Chain A
Amino acid sequence: MRPVFAFLIFVFISGITACGEREQVVEQQSEKRYQGKRDGKPWDSAPLAAEFRGGTWTKGNQQSWEEQIKQRQLGQHEHKRIYQ
């Protein structure tokens, strides 16, 4: 009985693993086939001076850069721009 139960568990786990999405992000530096130069990360650059209106984030901090980009994206959302 126990081997059958273990087999069923194995099949279940294999089944739900097969339904998962293949990882498609964060491949750049580990891209095995890519032969060229390594690229930098956008958040490693310092923000522009205020008059260039590039927003602000902490240099080297991915999260703060992503937050800045998200705010920028919401600028494309006229319903939010108008009603909030």
Chain B
Amino acid sequence: MALLEVRNLSKRFGGLAAVNDVSLDVGQGEILGLIGPNGAGKTTFVNLLTGALPSTSGTMLYEGRDVTRLGPHQRCRLGMARTFQVPQPFGGMTVLENVMTAALFGSSRTGRTRNSAEARARAVLDDVGLGEAADDRAVSLTTAGLKRLELARCLATEPSLIFLDEPLGGLNQTEVTEALDLIRSVRSAGATIIFIEHIMKAVMAVSDRVVVLANGAKLAEGTPSDIVADEQVQLAYLGDVSGAVDRYARLREGRTA
């Protein structure tokens, strides 16, 4: 049985279908790469899967249980966790408090006392390499640091399924390599990962399987090497360039999403 089963999932904003009839299975312990050109609906799709947005139609089963109508906090407590493309630190807190809060509320396993949450948070911070920064204010972190904080907060909830929304955006080459190592180590600790990325090369390097979204629909699915060879996928990515112009034109008419 797949860990996550998505059936015919759709999301419409007004007349526009941001996600259109997508079905997907994610197996236990795999890293699934989710790629697609800008505006393909990747982030919307993740928002649907994590419950941040209600879906218009379709169903989602997690560990065989229907989670379609559950809110994000309920899904988190079941073991689904995510990071955000644009880091969303709790700016008024320290790095440690950020992660502790996640351990206190997100995990059903760690007892919900401050002490166990703090121990858990410190352990996670060490894992992602932020141990030194534990007492710094979260807003003082660099982009790479914020991305790590996102991951730490997500890990502190003790998830089985992790959605990483463009974890490499804004990172330099060295940081990308480090981040990829981190992602591999998270997987070897037993988590299943859905890895959303715009940078194709990075996805290919770590994913077991890749799904391509374009215009809100599933365009292709397969092993990284299948996907690289797929002509349609190449077209979709090339189309991305003309997409910006198209977007401009639509904007002029005021009909953009």
Indicate, yes or no, whether A interacts with B: no
Q: Which residues of A are at the interface with B, using a C-beta cutoff of 8 A?
A: none
